[in-house]
Amino acid sequence: MTLQGARERWVRTGGVELCVAELGDTAQPTVVLVHGYPDSKEVWSEVAARLAEHFHVVLYDVRGHGRSTAPEPLRGGFTLERLTDDFLAVADAVSPGRPVHLVGHDWGSVQAWEFVTVERTKGRIASFTSMSGPSLDHFGHWIKKRVSRPTPRRIGQLLGQGAKSWYVYLLHTPVLPELAWRGPLGKRWPGILRRLEKVPGGDYPTPSLPTDAAHGAWLYRDNVRPRLRRPRVDAYAHAPVQLVTPLGDAFLSESLYDELELWAPRLTRRTLPAKHWVPRTRPDQLAAWIKEFVVATEGGRPTARAASGPHADRFGGQLVLVTGAGSGIGRATVLAFAEAGARVVAVDRDAQSAARTAELARLVGAPEAWAETVDVSDEQAMEKLAERVAAEYGVVDVLVNNAGIGLAGPFLDTTTEDWRKVLDVNLWGVIHGCRLFGRQMAERGQGGHIVNTASAAAYLPSRSLPAYSTSKAAVLMLSECLRAELAGRGIGVSAICPGFVNTNITSTARFAGVGPEEEDRRRRKSARLYGLRNYPPEKVAEAVLRAVVRNQAVVPVTAEARGGRLMSRFTPRALRAIARLEPPL
C-alpha cells in the first residue's frame, strides 16, 4: 500500500514470520519504526518517507498484525520477551553488527522500552525515541508509589490516568473485543479516528485493521497485569532516550513521565500540542526531531543539542518568524525563541537591525537564524517573503506579527496620510502575515500558532491615541475571529496586549498636529516616561512564549494592561472618564 518504493523481506523467528519493509540507503544509520495498537507498520508511512531521505528506515509488522503471521496459540504468544526476540531478529537481519535507532509509538513504544531496558539488547540499540507509550515497569512503579504514599495530587494523578485507561479494562474481557473489532467497531474506526483524533483520511488505517485489533488485544492480556503487579526493578535504559509527549493525548497523562530521568538518565524531552496519533497528524515535526536526535547520537553527543531556555521541549527545532524583529519586543521575542532552540526568521524593514537580531539569535542558541528585510505594509513584498520562506526554510510553526508604529495626537489633527500609514503597518501588516503564513500552516495541516501584538490601547479608549488604538483594536478582534476559524485545524491564535513597555516605539512615534520641534520634545518626554516605567521587552517575550504554550487567546502583559482589561469589562464608564484626560506630555 502506502510504503512506496519499500523493499520487502520476511524474517522467521519463534514460530512466526514477520513482514519487514526497508526504505532509503542501507549505508546510512538504521532507524527501526515500531507501530502501536491497533495499527500496522503503515501508520509510519508519512514519517518513514521523510526519514528515508537521510536514513536506512526499517518498519515491521508486529506479530499478529498487518502481514506478519500470528503465534499459535495466541495466549502467551505476545509477551514482551517474545516481542524482544522479534526485534532482535529484525535488527540482526537488517543491520547486522551495527546498533539501530529505535522509534516507537503507542504499543510500539511500550515494547521498545522493554527492548531498551533489558540486558540482552545492550549494544544493539543506539537511541530510542518514545511517543505515547510508557514502560509497563515504570508505570507499575508509578502506580505503586502513588498508592503507597498518597497525597491529594498523587491521588488525582492516579484517578486521572485510571479514567484514561478505560479501554485497557475492556480489552481484558474475553471474546467481546474481538467480536466488536471484527464487527461494527472495525467498520466505524476510520471515521472515529477522523472525527475525534483529527487523523487525516486517505489510505490509513489499512484493511487489516479488524484482525490487527483482534490479535493485538493479547498484547494487553499477556503483559499488563503481570508487569503492573511485579514491575522489574532494573528497567534502566542503556541508550539515550528522546521522549515526545503529545499534550492532548486522550489515553496517557503527562504526569506518567515525571521522574523519568531516574530510569533514563540521558533523556531529551519534547512536547507537542497534538492528540494521540502523532505519526499521522504531525509527521514533519516528528521526522525533524528523530533526525536531529539520531544525528546527535551518531555524532557522539548523549542528548540532542541542549537549548537551555524555558520551553525548549516545545520549540526546539521549530521554525519561528517574527516581524518588527529589529528592536524592542520583536527582537526580545526572537531571542527568547532562540534560547528555546527554535530556528528563527527575523523580519524588519531595517536590514541592519534585522541582521543584528539574527546574529544575536545564533549566539544565544538558535540552530539557524535568518534576517529578512521587508516592510510588512507592502503586500507584494510580503507575498514574496512568504514564498521565499516556504521554499528555503519550510512552513512556519509559529508566526509573530509584531511590527507596529506609534501615532499620537487628536483625531481632528490626524491627517488621512497619518491614518493610512498607521493602518498600513499596524493592521495590514498583521493581515498580510496571517493571510500568507496562516494559509501555509492550514494547507500543511499539522497545526501551528499565530501571535499578534495588539496593545492595551486596543481596549483602553483615550483622546490622545485615536488612530493607534483603532488599529490595535482591529488587530485584537482579527485575532479573536481568526482563532475561531483556525481552531478546527489545530492552529492557535493569540493576541498580546502589552502596556507601557520600554522600547524605541516612543522615539519613532508620530505626534499629529504639532511642529517638528514640539514633536521631538514629546518624543523625548514620552521616552523618558516609558523609561521611568521601565517594563522590559524581555518580559513581554516571555509572555509570548507562554501564550503559545498555553494557547491563550488574549494576554494583557503589564500591570496597567491587566488592570485596564478588568476595568474595560467591569467599569467601562470609569475608563471613559479617564479617556478624557490630557496625557502629561
Partner 1 sequence: MTSAVAPPGATGAELRGFREVQRLAYECAEAVAAQLAPGVTERGAARMQRDWLHRRGVRDWFHLPFAWFGDRTAFTGFRVPLQFFPTGRRLEEGMAFILDMAPVHKGFTADIGYSGSLGPNPLQDRLLADLEAHRDLILREVRERRPLREIYEDVDRLMAHQGYANRHRAYPFGVIAHKVDRVAERRWSPRLFGFGTQSLRGLAADAVRGHRAGWSPLWSPHRFSDHPPAPGLWAVEPHLGFRGTGAKFEEILVVTDSADPEQSAFWLDDDVPHVRRWAEEK
Active-site positions read 468
> Cβ of residue 430: shortest distance to partner 1, in angstroms?
24
Which secondary-structure segment (H or E) carries 227? helix 209-229
Nearer to partner 1, 168 or 360 (CB): 360
Nearer to partner 1, 103 or 335 (CB): 335
DSSP 141-174: HHHHHHHHS--HHHHHHHHHHHHHTHHHHHHTSS
Instruction: Name the residue nearer to partner 1 (CB basis): 205 or 330.
Output: 330
Cβ atoms of 219 and 37 within 8 Å: the answer is yes
List all residues 6 or more positions away from 310 whose beta carbon is below 8 Å from its beta carbon: 339, 340, 542, 545
CB 242, min distance to partner 1, A:
24
Count of H-run helices and E-run strands, the chain: 23, 17
- Bridge-based pairing of strands 241-246 and 100-105 is unpaired
Q: Of 585, 581, 578, 576, which Cα lies nearest the Cα of 512? A: 585
Report the amino acid identity of residue 348: D
Amino acid at 572: P
Report in angstroms how near the CB of residue 583 gets to partner 1 at its nearest: 24
Give me the least distance between CB of 340 and partner 1, in Å please.
13
Contact 108, 35 (CB under 8 A): yes
Name the DSSP letter for residue 205. S
Write down the least CB distance from residue 335 to partner 1, Å.
7
User: Which residue's CB is nearer to partner 1, number 289 or number 370?
Assistant: 370
CA distance 305 to 312: 10
Between CA 420 and CA 512 the distance in angstroms is: 13
**Cross-strand pairs, 104:** 34, 130
H or E element at residue 326? none
Instruction: Report, in Å, the least distance between residue 356 CB and partner 1.
Output: 6
Give the residues lining the site for partner 1 (CB under 8 A): 331, 335, 339, 353, 356-357, 359-360, 363-364, 504, 538
C-beta atoms surrounding 533 within 10 Å:
14
Chain centre to alpha carbon of residue 316:
9
Contacts of 230 (CB under 8 A, 6+ apart): 140
Smallest distance from partner 1 to CB 348, Å: 12
For partner 1, the closer of residues 338 and 389 by Cβ is 338
